Amino acid sequence: MHFSTVRWRAGSRDWQSSRFAAARVHTAHKHGAGAPPGPCVWLLAEWPKGEKAPTRFWLSSLPADTSLQTLVRLAKLRWRVERDYQEMKSEVGLDHYEGRTWLGFRHHVTLAGVAHAFLALRRALFPPDQMDAA
């Protein structure tokens, strides 16, 4: 595998970057039990400078013509998804549902998602430092 440096987003200090390599592989889930190889997927590996070996790995079912840049950008979105989930639990009560029906749960999740989207948009349009100055 050939590792290339990829930048995926601008951080608070500078661009986030690391070394990555990607290869198409077949999964071997239940191969020991006689199952045939799984579908062809991407194996993405991250090998930061200074490390003795790659430190993170991802499997992706994105199309075969997906660029390394796109694979890295999407793999690195995980932190954002986890952060949004934590914010939804702590700020808008996603984890406070105590009903008993699937329909009620869907309504609760939908309203929590809309509330979170509203707060995120408000923060983007009116950053806290602007609100303090007013």
Q: What pTM did the predictor assign?
A: 0.68
Mean pLDDT of 89-98: 91
- Residues whose CB is less than 8 angstroms from the CB of residue 87 and which lie 6 or more positions away in sequence, other chains included: 116, 119
pLDDT in tens, 6-43: 998 877 778 889 999 999 999 988 888 888 888 999 99
The ranges assigned to domains in the chain are 4-76, 80-133
For residue 22, give the 3-state DSSP assignment. Answer: strand
